[in-house]
Amino acid sequence: MIELIDIGKVFRNKDIETKALININLTVSDGEFVSIMGPSGCGKTSLLNIIGLIDSPSSGAYLLNGHRVSDLSERNRTDFRKDNFAFIFQSFNLIDDLTVWENIELPLVYQKMAQAERQNNVNQVLERFRLKHRANYFPNELSGGQQQLVAIARAVIAKPKVILADEPTGNLDSTHGEDIIQQLIKLNEAGTTIIMVTHSLMQAQRSHRIIHLFDGHIVTESYSRSATNL
Interval 55-110: pLDDT, tens: 999 999 999 999 999 988 888 988 899 889 999 988 889 999 999 999 999 999 98
What pLDDT sits at residue 124? 94
Residue 229, pLDDT above cutoff 80 = no
Nearest alpha carbon to residue 135 among 125, 117, 144: 125
Beta-strand pair 16-28/162-166: unpaired
Beta-strand pair 193-197/33-37: parallel
Residue 227, pLDDT above cutoff 70 = no
Interval 21-48: pLDDT, tens: 999 999 999 999 999 999 999 999 999 9
Q: Which domains does the chain have, with CATH numbers?
A: 2-223 (3.40.50.300)
Assign 170 a pLDDT band (cuts: 50, 70, 90): confident
Residue 1, pLDDT above cutoff 70 = yes
Give CA angle at 33 (52, 158), nearest 5°: 50
What pLDDT sits at residue 173? 87
Q: Taking residues 188-199, report their average pLDDT.
A: 95
Q: Taking residues 169-183, report their average pLDDT.
A: 88
Mean pLDDT of the chain: 92
